[in-house]
Chain A
Amino acid sequence: RKEVEQDPGPFNVPEGATVAFNCTYSNSASQSFFWYRQDCRKEPKLLMSVYSSGNEDGRFTAQLNRASQYISLLIRDSKLSDSATYLCVVNMGEGNKLTFGTGTQLKVEL
């Protein structure tokens, strides 16, 4: 089993749709969680952290379920510019290391 697992997609959605991605992690001792975004042929960049109580940043909502060991990202009112690969990232408590999922590809279409 992969340490951080994501559905690779692609998720093809129309503009304005709501879309959600899930990610599961294997290590119950994991300490912190993030979503990064990677545009085609570009480097990953931090999108948002994921907090235990859930958190929102504009159209983006992140949730953490420690009991089931998954995190989610919800995007409301999708824009064409949201098209990218979304990487689930987990700090499993091993000091400086982050473990990256393989990413979920989102394509927002007209």
Chain B
Amino acid sequence: DVKVTQSSRYLVKRTGEKVFLECVQDMDHENMFWYRQDPGLGLRLIYFSYDVKMKEKGDIPEGYSVSREKKERFSLILESASTNQTSMYLCASRGPDRRIQYFGAGTRLSVL
């Protein structure tokens, strides 16, 4: 079974803090993704990575950066958290079967 693990289920941060969201997958997948999910807006792609040290902007990259130093780990960074970044963040990975993205359980981030 593919396992995608996000380091925190719930996180509360203050405006201006630097925030790291970590995601690890155990299936040697090349492709990894970060989404945020908001009511009425659905899942929106922030960044994705198709290999180590490779990254591409998704639809809403502003205010975020990512790091992929190892194949199994894809980190999302909020350089200076703002209240409009309060959201559910979902990490996903994809292997050779391009139909399926495996999601982590999500991190619910509140920025106060």
Interface residues of A (CB under 8 A from B): 8, 32, 34, 42-46, 49, 87, 91, 96-103
Contact = CB atoms under 8 A, between A and B. Distances in A.
Contacts of B100: 46
Contacts, number: 44
Nearest to B101: A98
Nearest to A36: B101
A43 B58 contact: no
A102 B105 contact: no
8 contacts: A34-B99, A42-B105, A44-B103, A87-B42, A91-B98, A97-B48, A97-B58, A100-B35
A32 B99 contact: yes
A46 B102 CA distance: 8
A47 to B, nearest CB: 11
Q: How large is the interface on B (under 10, 10 to 19, 20 to 34, 35 or more residues)?
A: 20 to 34
Given A96-B98, A103-B42, 4 more contacts: A8-B40, A43-B90, A96-B56, A101-B42
A27 B3 CA distance: 32
Contacts of B41: 102
Interface of B: 31, 33, 35, 40-45, 48, 50, 56, 58, 90, 94, 98-101, 103-106
A46 B92 CA distance: 12
B44 to A, nearest CB: 8
Contacts of B56: 96
Nearest to A98: B101
B10 to A, nearest CB: 11
Nearest to A103: B42
Contacts of A32: 98-99
Nearest to A42: B105
10 nearest A-B residue pairs (beta carbon): A43-B103, A102-B42, A100-B43, A46-B100, A100-B42, A49-B99, A44-B103, A96-B31, A43-B105, A43-B106
A44 B90 CA distance: 9
